[in-house]
Structure 1
Amino acid sequence: MLGSNFLFFGIEVLDRLFRGINWDSESRLFPKTTMCDFTIREFGHPKLAHEYTVPCVLPLNLFNQQMFTFLYFWYALIIQLNMYDFFLWIYTIHPSNRRHFIFKHLKSKKYAAVFEATTNDQMKAFVDDYLKADGVFILIIISENSSDFVTSEIIQQLWMRKFIVKYYRDTKELIYADIQLTNNNNNHSSVKRHLCGVI
């Protein structure tokens, strides 16, 4: 509404304050006085008019300058808080910080035994492969909007009822597949030895 010049309006206000000048003094964006043109017609002579240019006051700009000064610094504060929050979330969802967040909640007093019985490989698989970034992100939001107790309870239930069952099932399948592969290799070697003996 005020153009690109409004970007530096707050800097001008601060500059006036540091120099000891009244911050709501005359501004190029909000002039307090201007020159007004008006016409006066003589009584009885409708075609005869006199044009005058005189200085006049713009009282509405007194209010506009104060309102836009407040909005400028309010928006500047919101932008800074949003940038801080943005970089904080980037830091929070970094892989190492995701693991630390889950470690902290599983290591709570209520679930200390669960944490002690957990290996590093299981924990990394739980955070990186099962929950992933979006799952940890949701848990962080839950923690921010409820409590650490609720978050720890949810993480523990996900760990015990979902991940551990899937982890051991996949582990058993891998072990079974490895055994089958070993048996097949042994059978193949036995056949080769038998054929060699026959030859």
Structure 2
Amino acid sequence: MFKLLGNLSVYFKYQDIRTDNALFRLHNTFTTVLLLTFSIIITASQFVGQPIQCIVSGIPAHVVNTFCWITSTFAMPDAFAREVGKEVAHPGVRNPYDGTTEKKYYTYYQWVCFVLFFQAIMCYTPKFLWDFFEGGLMRTIVMGLNVGVCKSKEKEKKKELLIGYLLRYQREHKMYALRYFGCELLCLINILVQMWLMDSFLGGEFYNYGTKVLGYSDVPQELRFDPMIYIFPRVTKCTFHKYGASGSIQTHDSLCVLPLNMVNEKTYVFLWFWYVALATLLSMLLVYRLIILFVPSIRPRLLHARSRSIAMETAASVSRRCDVGDWWLLYMLARNMDPIIYREFIAEFSKRLDEKPSSRA
């Protein structure tokens, strides 16, 4: 397992050229690795260990274990709030005195590892799309200027090539910015869709799962029952039928222990808080991007904040002459170029822009 988890470190390799922001990477890289880690741990516990152990008399234990694992187990919802040891044997476990008693069936547990893996693919999709759209443009135009130590002639030549490219293709980078903003929007949509999918997967119990866990300690001891046990029970029941010696159908009622649910409950508690935090931050990021798109007056301040080495007047002059696509390219160049080289480049680029006929941004 440690070897498998160690292979995930490739996702955290240092990138000398960044074409996205930290929140984008939290969604696409960290969350993907997080889900893959949970999937690997649960897979190892499920297929290497003993995910279920049932107690039943007269039938080989491994037969009942296999049957109850591949079919389903159940609990009695009204038995979770009853006193353990007096009214019920375990939370949610009591005898169904008649066939009309409501049962809550649990069939999801053998699918958790696969669902988590599918969620990891969904989280990686925005990064895959952005890498395809970006096509290595930022690395190409930076041309190694992210390293400040270089020969003067080489530096001047590269700066001239970069300025020439930006002047030649001025106002042709709008789709570059919009595609990136679209991938950030896709991150938010993905988080919201995944929360809905997890809620459906867990029988409508995911949306308020975290709040129930937080409120668990505030409930009086005599009235409380663990919400994690209700969604991920550790002891359930299973009914096994077989033919007796005379050919009549015999019913065997077994008690099943699910140690794997100890891992599942902690996994989904963490995912609830993580997804709520991500959804909140991505919503704020979406508002921030809308401000960038529809309030051009804020762009010079952001460019100056990104690179304090450039004058505010220069940032205002450049932002006024560029549309949102060119501005975003300059903003990302400030992140990837050496600060001193960027200051020299943006000053020269501003002068060259002033030499061109004026046009609206």
Indicate the TM-score class for this superposition, using the shorter chain for normalisation.
Answer: 0.5 to 0.7
CA displacement at 1:81 relative to structure 2: 2.4
- 1:95 aligns with 296
- 1:75 aligns with 275
- 1:197 aligns with none
Quote the Cα distance in structure 2 between the aligned partners of 1:152 and 1:74: 39
- 2:345 aligns with 154
Query: Is the alpha carbon distance of 1:8 and 1:40 closer, same or farther for their aligned partners in structure 2, counting shifts above 3 Å?
Result: same
Query: Is the alpha carbon distance of 1:140 and 1:11 closer, same or farther for their aligned partners in structure 2, counting shifts above 3 Å?
Result: same
Indicate which of 122, 134, 143 corresponds to 2:334: 143
Indicate which of 112, 116, 127 corresponds to 2:319: 127
The secondary structure found in structure 2 opposite 1:26 is helix
Report if aligned partners of 2:237, 2:256 keep a CA contact under 8 Å in 1: yes
Bigger helix share: 1
Report if aligned partners of 2:307, 2:334 keep a CA contact under 8 Å in 1: no
Quote the Cα distance in structure 2 between the aligned partners of 1:64 and 1:17: 20
Quote the Cα distance in structure 1 between the aligned partners of 2:307 and 2:280: 34
CA displacement at 1:65 relative to structure 2: 1.0
Query: Is the alpha carbon distance of 1:6 and 1:61 closer, same or farther for their aligned partners in structure 2, counting shifts above 3 Å?
Result: same
CA displacement at 1:79 relative to structure 2: 1.8
Whether 1:47 and 2:247 are equivalent positions in the alignment is: yes
Amino acid at match of 2:356: K
- 1:85 aligns with 285
Superposition pairs for residues 52-67 of structure 1, below 5 Å? 52-67=252-267
- 1:33 aligns with 235
Report if aligned partners of 1:105, 1:148 keep a CA contact under 8 Å in 2: no
Report if aligned partners of 2:307, 2:339 keep a CA contact under 8 Å in 1: no
CA displacement at 1:154 relative to structure 2: 3.2
Query: Is the alpha carbon distance of 1:100 and 1:26 closer, same or farther for their aligned partners in structure 2, counting shifts above 3 Å?
Result: closer
Query: Is the alpha carbon distance of 1:35 and 1:103 closer, same or farther for their aligned partners in structure 2, counting shifts above 3 Å?
Result: closer
Quote the Cα distance in structure 1 between the aligned partners of 2:333 and 2:356: 24
Report if aligned partners of 2:213, 2:228 keep a CA contact under 8 Å in 1: no
Report if aligned partners of 1:98, 1:127 keep a CA contact under 8 Å in 2: yes
1:22-63 alpha-carbon deviations (Å, 9 max, x no partner): 867522x21222222124666xx2625531324332222222
Query: Is the alpha carbon distance of 1:6 and 1:107 closer, same or farther for their aligned partners in structure 2, counting shifts above 3 Å?
Result: closer
Query: Is the alpha carbon distance of 1:136 and 1:54 closer, same or farther for their aligned partners in structure 2, counting shifts above 3 Å?
Result: same
- 2:354 aligns with 164
Report if aligned partners of 2:209, 2:227 keep a CA contact under 8 Å in 1: no
Gaps of 5+ in 1: 172-199
CA displacement at 1:135 relative to structure 2: 1.6
CA displacement at 1:73 relative to structure 2: 1.5
Query: Is the alpha carbon distance of 1:70 and 1:136 closer, same or farther for their aligned partners in structure 2, counting shifts above 3 Å?
Result: same
CA displacement at 1:90 relative to structure 2: 3.6
Normalization by structure 2: what TM-score? 0.35
Q: Which has the higher contact order (CA 8 A, sep 6+)?
A: 2
1:93-124 alpha-carbon deviations (Å, 9 max, x no partner): 53221133457799957x69xx5xx8xxxx56
Identical-pair percentage: 23
Indicate the RMSD between aligned Cα atoms, in angstroms.
3.7
Quote the Cα distance in structure 2 between the aligned partners of 1:106 and 1:41: 79
CA displacement at 1:78 relative to structure 2: 1.9
Quote the Cα distance in structure 1 between the aligned partners of 2:282 and 2:323: 25
Quote the Cα distance in structure 2 between the aligned partners of 1:9 and 1:156: 54
Larger Rg: 1
Report if aligned partners of 1:105, 1:151 keep a CA contact under 8 Å in 2: no
Aligned length: 154
CA displacement at 1:143 relative to structure 2: 2.6
The secondary structure found in structure 2 opposite 1:83 is helix
The secondary structure found in structure 2 opposite 1:99 is helix
The secondary structure found in structure 2 opposite 1:5 is coil
Query: Is the alpha carbon distance of 1:5 and 1:104 closer, same or farther for their aligned partners in structure 2, counting shifts above 3 Å?
Result: closer
The secondary structure found in structure 1 opposite 2:323 is helix
CA displacement at 1:166 relative to structure 2: 0.7
Gaps of 5+ in 2: 1-200
Superposition pairs for residues 97-116 of structure 1, below 5 Å? 97-101=298-302
Amino acid at match of 1:80: T
Quote the Cα distance in structure 2 between the aligned partners of 1:146 and 1:24: 51
